[in-house]
Structure 1
């Protein structure tokens, strides 16, 4: 029988605590050659500390951490450790001559994939000094440095931060193709990246690490099954508890002849209640009524020095529109949101905002909280409004802060003491307290953990207003929004009927042609038709719409079959042979659904 892969690093019964907070509690795990592990969990739950323990940078209080002899390890932390006086070349390829590193296909791939968008002409390319560069550029340089070094064990803390959609797709491909003798552990909140890259998912919570085979989709399915089993166990425990308590109440209260083992059994049932997680609960906030006119851009141009970010842009945004914006770094995505919000005045053209619009803008830097640094969390919420409505109920600032994860003493923390994810959550809470009907979100997923992202998306599912989202998080964009548009760097906004996949195809095809401006569907008939788009006849459109309806029914049938398979897999979770067969059938159905959806998109291009 062949031996399995050798573990590069092992944790044996590791325990680690900071003050009274337990980070690792009797944790045993290993990272083997060939592993690609994604790490998820709540902000502050110990993910980054676990990476430091694996790297040997953080000692444990008890237990043992061992590494194989001669192991090379690289860690991409969240702190910038680059020498500001160094050049990009020195950081990434050291003192290698151009012909040496350029002759290595792997190194060329890294340099073009991560550094091709650093603005080589403006900053001097590889000979540019690191110091004046932005945080995003420096982080990509640090990531490139570690990928070029190609260590045996690569530990990455949020590697997709500051990467655009195209960069995330490249990174997933590159990491999946690493040499089989190496291993990768990456903390990430990017669920598309997790699915594309990981062969195993670790969930860090409550001092433990739970392992799941596969990426995000497999993790969600397995966690749902774990919750189902826990619910069944809890129901059984509650039934037993009711019986025991009923028995204990029988007879005179002063009676002391009850068998001690019955009392012990009841106490054990009560003591078995697990402590509640610090859950983030985002419910339905009140939304002000929105009229038919929201925000219209007519012939808008925005120019910064010699750079034209937006050029003759006409974009009509309607009530209930849910639009995701993607684009290359520096193409003007954040500027576009600031034009919509009124923070940036266009160089030319006109922005018309409807009279009923109540707008909220979540900026990327969350600088709005700087003025509130000395306030407590609960006071920062009450600073907007003392009470608001969640559905039919009126809730106070304190109650709302608790529902969004600021429990107990955390409400008394100063704003300046919050983590990046907590600051983002707090600012979103403050915005929602004001009951807006238009939300502009600039990279809302930055620093948020997977559970908070899921809760945020659940909230936005019921959002009655207009939503515009700029994000590099492909999963979140497709989950939150009904359609996507792209800024390709030529000053124009392009509609993406095929979503993010179409954007990646356009980027791979080379420099963009002049793209058309886009309009919301309420005004689509009046939008100019680009010269490269053929006008379809009424008969072609009728046939295409009939085909769309047929394909939609086919997708619904597949979805029902997928749901049944998931239920059957959950029911047979302990039968690995049966689960394997069911998983094979599931993959076939998912492939069929993808094919049907592709044909639906082709029909939609004709039928509208």
Structure 2
């Protein structure tokens, strides 16, 4: 059953058509991710579907009684109203405190935020979380979200994805977070040149299907260009040849990527980085650091000794407020440690992209502001001009001659990043570089960083980007240490869930009595306090007998064999999806099987980690 129908809808801002004769529908229970370039019409499409914007032409039909929840990019909160009233309305305390679903939403989005705080006193991130919590607490037939992951950390994004996937509501979401798209979407819509192209599956399936469409289009263009030569050749071969035409089969996914080189030539980049940087980049010796200055604010580092070497590509993970930006500022020498020593290599040429936009002369042209830094840049084995790099990051044609003062926030972000790269640094500190960047620009940025030789330290809540451009991850877990994460973001989430870091989460203890006023996190400390050491830790403390160790080794081997089998099944399903790229019904069935396999794989991996932990491996 369709909840919303669009028939021949068109809409334009000024001379630019954003939607041209678009006809589509949203079905009950359908989850759709919307992608496209900034300014391409994604938000306009959402507003039209939600009924918040009347199109220039065409018709939008809603089911009778349709309940629509719409989160726009701008959070419209009454500045004088407290958080409690915004989120919970007139719900009595015992009503929401006794509702497990409401408690879960509050715990993961509101956390320790004071319920009596007025909207006017909230930060941008707190306002965003408040607006999102208000929407999710209500029941809707259709939820529409415009950039819901803004201001959320990795843990909150993972929770939100699971929450949305578990709801029965239909969902239409605009986001540049590709991991989130994969986690929640059943279908993907791409808004491009006024059209809405539709694809089955999440972001990964969309990329594969789009590549296949491009391959077919290229083959069609080659056929058109050679048509006369082929027709003449066929005519010479006699009548049988005239009745047959070549058919292009869809290659399996493994065949498509068989000759694709690795994203980065790691060994060569490391060699270049070592030649440019020498042996020392950053050495931290017995460093203690507080976020608010010596002895004030949260503890970030506690007598830490650590080395960042030439060619390291490190992703820095942690909840908001854990001190990630403070650590980057320490390395950039804009703040000093409470104690200890930070040694910086003599050959380090640093570029630090902070979350604040650096000032650029607003009267200059975009191209001029880049060329004043440098006109050419060597990336990998190729030399790029300033104009070519601007084009790769979305400044095409006349956009390179725009006045800097007229740029949007996203355009300023891209310009700031390119100016840093043009200065030819050998150490990059990037703090949330993906803010305000669309997916196409993110792809180009990833390609540029793949060919860049140097040390990279990245802070980002964009999980896809983080895993794509870095080689290893470390986390600030609130214990004053940098914890290495061999398992990446998945391991970080598991360790957080296991209680190895401070969490703000409600538990069953909240139902034992009425919640006190004030902060959500104050409902009960027992809900967040660990009941005792994990079973694995207790087992290690008591030691394992030879028999127990043999049994655990056998179990570990069994789980590894099971993981291998699941990995083979996953590869076969990916290949089958590539073959079925044009068969939407079959692709949907295969996607469901793939999700089931991934869920089994996650379960087995969790069991493997638990057994390995007990063995001390």
TM over 0.5: yes
- The 8 Å contact of residues 14 and 62 in structure 1, kept in 2 or not, is answered as yes
Partner of 2:105: 110
Post-superposition offset of 1:489:
2.5
Partner of 1:96: 91
Post-superposition offset of 1:335:
0.6
Against the structure 1 CA distance between its residues 185 and 575, is the aligned structure 2 distance closer, same or farther, given a 3 Å change threshold? Answer: closer
Counterparts of residues 373-522 of structure 1 (less than 5 Å): 373-391=362-380, 394-510=383-499, 512=501
Larger RCO, structure (CA 8 Å, separation 6 or more): 2
List runs of 5+ in structure 1 lacking aligned partners.
119-124, 245-281, 514-529
**Distance in structure 2 (CA, Å) of the matches to 1:598 and 1:478:** 20
**Distance in structure 2 (CA, Å) of the matches to 1:127 and 1:99:** 17
Against the structure 1 CA distance between its residues 151 and 559, is the aligned structure 2 distance closer, same or farther, given a 3 Å change threshold? Answer: closer
Aligned length: 533
**Distance in structure 1 (CA, Å) of the matches to 2:540 and 2:305:** 18
In the TM superposition, what whole-angstrom CA distance separates every residue of 1:285-317 from its partner, at most 9, and x where no partner exists?
997822111111112222323433322222211
Partner of 1:298: 285
- The 8 Å contact of residues 392 and 444 in structure 2, kept in 1 or not, is answered as no
* 2:70 is the alignment partner of 1:75: yes
Counterparts of residues 347-366 of structure 1 (less than 5 Å): 347-365=338-356
**Distance in structure 2 (CA, Å) of the matches to 1:313 and 1:85:** 44
Moved more, 377-386 or 502-511: 502-511
Partner of 1:526: none
**Distance in structure 2 (CA, Å) of the matches to 1:581 and 1:146:** 31
Post-superposition offset of 1:339:
0.7
1:236 pairs, out of 190, 202, 223, with 223
- What is the TM-score of this pair, normalised by structure 1? 0.78
1:289 pairs, out of 265, 276, 290, with 276
**Distance in structure 2 (CA, Å) of the matches to 1:113 and 1:457:** 30
Secondary structure, counterpart of 1:296 in structure 2: strand
Partner of 2:144: 155
Partner of 2:323: 332
Partner of 2:308: 317
Secondary structure, counterpart of 2:276 in structure 1: coil
Secondary structure, counterpart of 1:357 in structure 2: coil
Partner of 2:32: 37
**Distance in structure 1 (CA, Å) of the matches to 2:329 and 2:121:** 25
Post-superposition offset of 1:388:
2.4
Post-superposition offset of 1:444:
1.9
Partner of 1:277: none
- The 8 Å contact of residues 328 and 489 in structure 1, kept in 2 or not, is answered as no
In the TM superposition, what whole-angstrom CA distance separates every residue of 1:344-399 from its partner, at most 9, and x where no partner exists?
2112111111112111112122x21x343332211221231133234555443233
* 2:184 is the alignment partner of 1:204: no
- What is the TM-score of this pair, normalised by structure 2? 0.77
Consecutive aligned runs of 4 or more in structure 1 exceeding 3 Å deviation: 241-244, 282-288, 390-396, 557-608
Against the structure 1 CA distance between its residues 106 and 602, is the aligned structure 2 distance closer, same or farther, given a 3 Å change threshold? Answer: closer
In the TM superposition, what whole-angstrom CA distance separates every residue of 1:460-489 from its partner, at most 9, and x where no partner exists?
333321111111122222222222111122
Post-superposition offset of 1:564:
7.0
Q: Give the alignment's Cα RMSD to 1 decimal.
A: 3.7
